[in-house]
Amino acid sequence: MDSSRVTRAMSRIEDALARIERAAASPRSVDAGDADLAKRHERLKDTVREQLGELDSLIARLER
């Protein structure tokens, strides 16, 4: 890479880092969609936990 390409690449990296720092520093607002998504995620985790429990029981019975 020649020096001008390196300089441009470094500039782009520094700009990206500045954007990341701004995004990390800004407070994130929680909207209703996020709350709904969190509830749906919890329900999904509960369902998966129950189904895995049933699978464990079935496997245990088959191993007897």
pLDDT at 41: 95
| 37, 45 Cβ separation under 8 angstroms | no
Confidence of residue 29 (pLDDT cuts 50, 70, 90): low
pLDDT at 26: 84
Sign of the CA dihedral 15, 17, 20, 26?
negative
Confidence of residue 52 (pLDDT cuts 50, 70, 90): very high
Arithmetic mean of pLDDT, 24-37: 79
